[in-house]
Amino acid sequence: MNVEKALEKLKEEGFKYTDKRMDMLQLFSDESRYLAAKDVLEALKDKYSGLSFDTIYRNLSLFSDLGILETTELAGEKKFRFSCSTDHHHHHLICLECGKTKHIHQCPMDSSSMTTEGFKVVGHKFEIYGYCDKCEAQTF
């Protein structure tokens, strides 16, 4: 995903371009890591003094619905990042400090010995948590 594709998607679906939306998309493009709503507010509050959580939440929600952002939940907080790619299923190793990620291309669901009898499976979550070298160095 990138800003151009995201804007296309917005237009396709009949949503409008606004400065705030563009800046939010640019932020996710620049950062390329998981961000919480408060991170987005923090990043944009200087430019938009009146910017409120309402708008951020509404747009985060819209972007996820459109497949522009992917989400996860960490420590009770919803976090968002640019969708990595729409065509390849993958998982993430996530830095608990800064949200930086690393792809994991293996999916445990591919294992032939995975048994799910008695359940109708609708999804799964596989994430590895840790600290990236940078955050690890700063913290300790």
Binding site for DNA (CB under 7 A): 14-21, 36-38, 48, 50-55, 57-59, 61-62, 76-78
| Consecutive H or E run containing 36 | strand 35-36
34 within 8 A of 101, measured Cβ to Cβ = yes
Burial class (CB in 10 A: 0-12, 13-18, 19+), 88: exposed
Q: Is 124 annotated as a binding residue?
A: yes
Q: Do 139 and 131 form a contact (C-beta atoms < 8 A)?
A: yes
Of 38 and 47, nearer to its own copies (C-beta) is 38
For residue 1, the minimal CB distance to its own copies (Å) is: 22
CB of 123 to its own copies, least distance (A): 5
Consult the annotation and say whether 84 binds a ligand: no
- What tokens appear for 133 in the block? 């070298």
Tell me the per-residue interface mask from 54 to 83 with its own copies, x by CB under 8 A, - otherwise.
-------------------x--x-x-----
